[in-house]
Structures are given as C-alpha cells and as structure tokens.
Amino acid sequence: RRARIGRRFRLFFRYDASAKVIVYAWINDERTLRSTGSRTDPYAVFTRMLARGNPPDEWAALMAASGRKPQGER
C-alpha cells in the first residue's frame, strides 16, 4: 500500500489486520520527489527495491527486517 504526503512524497507500508501491525516499508526524501517518468520517481525507486527483495514479501521476514518479532514469537 501507499499513502500520499503532500504532492510529492509517498509512504509505502504493509499491514496485518489480525496482528494489528503496520510496518512502514519506505518513504521517499528530497532526492526522490514524485516526478512521473523520472528515474528517481518514488514509484520507480520502490519498484527497483522490490525487484531486489527489499522489503521482503513474506510477513515474518518483513517483521524481522523491521526489527520486531512476529506476533506469537515474543
């Protein structure tokens, strides 16, 4: 999922309703402002990150990468 913050910033996140947890995956900065078609457009940058496996697809791996243990493993 993603959220718009102002006109040129994007926050990408995942959530798990049963665990009631939101993990903020990535937010762009001044170097990656929204600019359609640009190599530094946040959607293009995040797409390249996903292609490299960052952030992880699996919920447990995402939680581990975020520094928190999945619910039930505390």
pLDDT in tens, the chain (74 residues): 777 777 788 899 999 999 898 998 888 888 888 888 999 999 999 999 999 999 998 988 888 888 865 566 55
Rounded Cα–Cα distance for residues 54 and 62 (Å): 9
In a domain, 7, yes or no: yes
Strands of the chain, DSSP E: 2-5, 9-16, 21-27
Q: Which pLDDT value is given to residue 1?
A: 76
Task: Quote the pTM value.
Answer: 0.70
Where helices occur in the chain by DSSP H, the ranges are 42-51, 59-66
Q: Is 73 inside a domain boundary?
A: no
Residue 65's pLDDT is what?
87
Write out the residue range of the structural domain in which residue 36 sits: 2-66
Please, which residues bridge with residue 14 across strands? 23
The rounded distance, in Å, linking the Cα atoms of 5 and 16 is 22
Task: Give the total number of structural domains in the chain.
Answer: 1
